[in-house]
Structure formats: C-alpha cells, structure tokens
Amino acid sequence: MGASATIAAPGWRDTWKHVRYVATDNPVTLGAFALFGFFLLLALFGPWIAPYDPLMSDTTVALKPPSAAHWFGTDSLGRDILSRIIVAAQLDFGIAVSAVFASFFLGSALGCLAGFYGGWADRIIGRIADTIMAFPLFVLAMGIVAALGNSVANIILATAIINLPFYIRVSRAEVNVRRNAGYVEAARLAGNSDARILALHLFPNVLPPMMVQISLNMGWAILNAAGLSFIGLGVRPPQAEWGIMVAEGATYIISGEWWIALFPGATLMLVVFTFNLLGDGLRDILDPRTRT
Amino acid sequence: MTPNLLDIVELRKHFPIGRRSQLHAVDDVSFEIARGESVGLVGESGCGKSTLVRLITRMLDPTAGDIVFGGRNIGFIPARKFAETQFRPKIQMVFQDPTDSLNPRYTAFDTIAEPLRLLAKVKDYGELHARVFAAALQTGLPEELLMRFPHQLSGGQKARVGIARAIALRPELLILDEPTAALDVSVQATILKLLAELRSTLGMSYLFVSHDLNVVRMLCDRVIVMYLGKVVEQGPTEAVFRSPAHPYTAALIRAIPSIGGRPGDREVLSGEPRSPVDPDPKVCRFFGRCPKQVDRCRTERPLLREVGEKHRAACHFPQVEPEA
C-alpha cells in the first residue's frame, strides 16, 4: 500500500540522520566510534592484516627492540609483537562480547522481572545479586575458572557471572520507577499482557542507561579476561592474548626489554578507554529524546 | 426506561494495612451512568476517586460489590483476565498527565494503533492506517504529527493523542481522569470543547473525574461528590451547584474562585480529614470538619437520602432544595 511506504521510509532516514548528528555533534563520540571500528576490523580480519605468523618463532631476532621490520619489536622467542597484538584482538573481543551479552540478556531479564513484579521475585533475585557482589569479583572469577577448568568457555562464563549483578541492579531500578507510569497503565487498557508490557513498553525505555553499562562492562570484561590470563588462569600460551603477553613481558622489563609488555598493555588501555567513551555516544543515539 | 450502561452496586475496595487494619478506599459506593450520559466525579485528593476509577476500568479487583456494565456483571472477572474479554474495548480511559501516559519510544501513530491491533484485532495495515487517521482527524490531530514522538509534541497535541487512543476503539464508556489538569488554561478550553463534541458525535458515556468544579459544571449532566471513600452527595449538576445539600459540597462550591470575590469572603473548612484506616462505622465520615456537626453525627452514620428530584445527600441536616 502506498501510504505505508511513505510512512516507513522517513523512519529509516531519520534514524541514520540521527546517528550522523550524534557522531558529528560530539567529536569525542566520533573518535570513540572510529577507534571501535578500528579494533573491530582487527578482530574480524586480524589474521589477514598481521604481517607475521603470530606463533612463528625465529630465535635469530629474539628480544629485538622496535624496528622497521618489527614495529613493536619481538619477544623472547622472536615472535612479532605487532602481529600477536593484532591477532589477539579476536580472542579478547570474542570473550568480552560473549560474556557481556550473556550477562546483559540474563541480567536484564531478571532485573526487569524483579522490578516489575516486586515481592518475592524481587527478594530472590536481589539476594542472588547480593551474593555475587559479596565476593571480590576478580577473586570470584578466579575461583570459577579454577574450579571449572582452564578454557575460553569458562572465562566467558566467569566474566558473565561477575557482571550479572550490575545488569540486574540497573534494570531493576529503571523498571521499578517506570512500572506505575501512565503509559504502562495505558498499555494495559490497550490490551497488552504483562509480558508485552515488559518487552515492548518498559524494556526499550530502560535500554539507554543499560547501553552505558554494556559499554563500560565491555572494557572491564576485556581487563578481566586479560587479568585471568596474566595470573595463568584462562587462555594458555603460546596462544596470543593481551594479558598473557603482558605477563610474559613483565619479567623482561627489569632487564630493559620494555616493549614486550608495553605494547599489549597500551592496547588494553586504549580498548578500555574506547569502550568507556562509546557508552555516552550509544546512550545519545538510543534515547529518542535527544532526537531533533 | 432503558437499562443503564453502568450500574455500580455497593462497590467496596479495602486495602489491608499490616496484619489487622484495612484502609477503606472505596466504601459501599453505588451509582449509575445512563447511555450517553456524562457524570462528574469530584472530591479531594485521597477520597478514593482514583481507586474507584481503577475498579471501573478493571485494573483492580473489588473487595465486594457489583460492576454491572451493559447488563453483565463484570466485577467478578479478574483484572488479569479482563483484557481478553469483549468488554475491554468498550471501557477506555483518558489519563491525567498526557506526557506520562505516552510511551516515549512510541510515535503518535504507534500509540493510537496499539489498542486497534490488540483489541480490535486489526491486522491489515491499510485498515489500521485508515482507522488511526480517522481517530486523529476526530481529535483534531494534524496527520503530519502522527510520525512524531511524544517529546516532539506540545501538551495539547499529546492530550489529543491520548484521547485519540481512547476513542479509536469506539468505547461505550470513556473515563476521563482529570484530562485537562496538566494543561495550560488556554489549551484546557479547546480540549474540553473537543471532549464535549466527541461525546455528542460518538454517543459515548463519560465518567469525568475532576477537582475543577467549573469544568464539571460545564461538561456533566450529573455530579457525584465523594468524601473519604463514600458518596456524600449526588444529583443533577445544576441542582447540586444551585443548592448543595451536604455541608462538604457546599464548602467545595464556596471554594470555587470567582472574579470579584474577595479571599476573606470564603469560609474555609477547619480540621483534618478522618483517617480512612478502619473508620468507625457509626461516625459520619465528615465529622470533625463539619460546621453542622452535633452528637448524633457521632453515633449514627447518615445514609444517602432524597433531598430533591434525583438529588441525594448523606447528611442528617441536608440543605433541602427550595421549591421551584
């Protein structure tokens, strides 16, 4: 039908215009998106971009400082550090994205239920969150990985579990303040079931603050995965991973080979920084009230 | 005589407070609304207006009493199941705050279309489109605003979206919960005029909740005055305004601001309202604030009785209508 086309088309164009507006209005957001895009490229196409095989050792060039051939230098086995950093992006991002999305979906579902129904649902879900929060989170993650075994799946699981309370709390609080809003009551009169009200009326409205949480957590999740690998839990050598690379390089700092730990460490820092800035931009894009 | 659209019979809603106490939000309220009639419901904050509205819209289950709508008792249908019944599209509501009652992530079109999709089961996009546009036209909402989000609309436009959503289903009973309280005075007038027009063109009955008595006088055929969960007076609007029988109604009407009136002219009620928690059944609810109170008001609760044609008040000493 003709009318439907005229209605649907401007919707998409408006959304795109809005994304462009938010990005250009705030140069910091634009920078964060650019950096994020850059890291995403590394994660997706790392093995093709990397100049050397990340696992190939060549003892003739071991422990060489940055040079034209090896921009970030080489490690004790003569592996190219730049290549290892690039290839590691896939693993680190994969862990962070899977863990954060697992805790986002489970945490916001639980939090929405707790905030919407209150009573026993709220008490039980709230106590689960409190129990997780009662542990020092990194120690809890260490415990989970140590108990379940050293594998990537278990790092993801541990990272997801320690991030769960943040999503439960944010979504619970945001749903709770909105559950008596006029539009929820109006939605009931319009024939919505509880499930529809939660999914279509409340959840989209709590999404903007959740987005900030996702982005902040993404940085933490990467740090957490790297931290676990650093202390020897999680990803095992010789696989390229930023945390392991920092751990391997740490022993050489004293003897003057600073580049082995510095470059993966700086990469980690930059990634966490990017995610933190990205959160603000995402919130602006998802909140219809910032649309002009 | 044609049967009424809505008969409320001794409707009661008590909320438990702690282990023993009960808050009597709505206490044995009875009234009726005829087809096409506009009834005003007035009373101060906390008198049970909102609870009564939530009971009638079936968002809340009554403790006791009947809600008879079109000859069928709908008071027994649990609020949770009510959306699936044939009655849901027939009882709709316009909310008090047009900003709060619109989902910020829904366009005006989505908001108006939702009840049509869910309750009228309109699947075909062309029909949906036509019906949303018709509702927008009836409420004076320009078509080009339908794709906007609530924050891109003015207060009056948002109010029109809320009204369009409620009338899109052609309800038989429209409940208006202070529909103009959050609007500018100039916008109020146009919205009230719109509501009056809609009632005559669509033949709906109105239950108009307000504490703006001038609005009630303008729009309603009959008025019901509530005080602490009880109906204290009800009758034809003109009769109630001309000769209020209950001292509370009289005080409300005296409190209407008027041009030329001086602040000192008004008699202000003293004292605090009685507690709605476990009220003594023998004491008049207005006791303690009433200028006419005597000992009898503390030992025998007054019941609603006739003071004029279809005009009833719950007072031992009503101001009887003067013979016309």
Q: State the nearest Cα–Cα gap between B101 and chain A, in angstroms.
A: 4
Chain centre distance of CA A110? 20
Neighbours of A141 (CB within 10 A): 27
Determine the 3-state secondary structure of B108 from DSSP. helix
Set of chain B residues whose Cβ sits within 8 Å of the Cβ of A3:
126, 129
Query: Is residue B286 one of the residues assigned to a domain?
Result: yes
Burial of B308 (0-12, 13-18, 19+ CB in 10 A): buried
Show which of residues 9-68 on chain A sit within 8 Å of chain B, judged by CB atoms: 10-11
| ipTM score of complex | 0.85
Show which of residues 35-74 on chain B sit within 8 Å of chain A, judged by CB atoms: 57, 59
Lowest mean pLDDT among A9-23, B86-100, B215-229: A9-23
pLDDT for A7 equals 45
- Position B176 confidence tier, pLDDT thresholds 50, 70, 90: very high
Q: State the nearest Cα–Cα gap between A193 and chain B, in angstroms.
A: 8
Query: Is residue B272 one of the residues assigned to a domain?
Result: yes
Burial of A77 (0-12, 13-18, 19+ CB in 10 A): middle
What single letter denotes the amino acid at residue B284?
C
Determine the 3-state secondary structure of B9 from DSSP. strand
Paired tokens of B119? 């309750």
Q: How far apart are CA A275 and CA A104, in angstroms?
A: 16
| Whether B152 contacts chain A with CB within 8 A | yes
Q: How far apart are CA B114 and CA B120, in angstroms?
A: 9
Set of chain B residues whose Cβ sits within 8 Å of the Cβ of A183:
100-104, 106
pLDDT digit string, tens, across residues B119-138:
988 888 999 999 999 999 99
Instruction: Determine the residue of chain B that is closest to A193 in CA distance.
Output: B83
pLDDT for A175 equals 93
Neighbours of B291 (CB within 10 A): 12
Answer yes or no: is pLDDT of B269 > 90.
no
Set of chain B residues whose Cβ sits within 8 Å of the Cβ of A182:
95-97, 100-102
Instruction: Determine the residue of chain B that is closest to A202 in CA distance.
Output: B103
Q: State the nearest Cα–Cα gap between B226 and chain A, in angstroms.
A: 23
In chain A, domain spans: 20-290
Instruction: Determine the residue of chain A that is closest to B124 in CA distance.
Output: A1
Neighbours of B245 (CB within 10 A): 27
| Whether A201 contacts chain B with CB within 8 A | yes
DSSP A199: I
Q: State the nearest Cα–Cα gap between A116 and chain B, in angstroms.
A: 15
- Residue B6 main-chain phi, psi, to 5 deg: -135, 130
- Position B308 confidence tier, pLDDT thresholds 50, 70, 90: confident
- Backbone φ/ψ region at B46: left (φ over 0), alpha (ψ -120 to 50), beta: left
Chain centre distance of CA A87? 18
- DSSP line for A97-159: HHHHHHHHHHHHHHHHHHHHH-HHHHHHHHHHHHHHHHS-HHHHHHHHHHHH-S-HHHHHHHH
Parent domain of B271: 245-324
What is the β-pairing status of strands B6-17 and B72-73? unpaired
- H helices of chain B, in order, are 49-56, 108-118, 125-138, 155-167, 185-202, 213-219, 237-242, 247-254, 296-299
- Position B264 confidence tier, pLDDT thresholds 50, 70, 90: low
Segments of chain A scoring below 70 in pLDDT: 1-12, 288-292
The answer to whether residues B94 and A279 touch, using CB atoms and an 8 Å cutoff, is: no
DSSP B266: S
pLDDT for A236 equals 80
The answer to whether residues A201 and A187 touch, using CB atoms and an 8 Å cutoff, is: yes
| Whether A193 contacts chain B with CB within 8 A | yes
DSSP A197: I
Check CB contact under 8 Å for B59 and A201: no
Mean pLDDT across B24-52: 90
The answer to whether residues B123 and B129 touch, using CB atoms and an 8 Å cutoff, is: no
Q: Kindly report the CATH class assigned to A20-290.
A: mainly alpha
DSSP B93: E
Q: How far apart are CA B162 and CA B149, in angstroms?
A: 13
Query: Is residue B213 one of the residues assigned to a domain?
Result: no
Q: Tell me which of B324 and A199 has the higher pLDDT.
A: A199
| Whether B81 contacts chain A with CB within 8 A | no
Answer yes or no: is pLDDT of B151 > 50.
yes
Query: Is residue B33 one of the residues assigned to a domain?
Result: no
Q: How many domains does chain B divide into? A: 1
- Residue B102 main-chain phi, psi, to 5 deg: -110, 130
Nearest one of B22, B11, B85, B89 to B54, comparing CA atoms: B11
The answer to whether residues B239 and B309 touch, using CB atoms and an 8 Å cutoff, is: yes
| Whether B114 contacts chain A with CB within 8 A | yes
pLDDT for B115 equals 93
- Position B225 confidence tier, pLDDT thresholds 50, 70, 90: very high
Check CB contact under 8 Å for B100 and A181: yes
| Whether B19 contacts chain A with CB within 8 A | no
Query: Is residue B250 one of the residues assigned to a domain?
Result: yes
- Residue B177 main-chain phi, psi, to 5 deg: -95, 95
| Whether A204 contacts chain B with CB within 8 A | yes
Report helix, strand and coil shares of chain A as percent, to nearest 5. 80, 0, 20
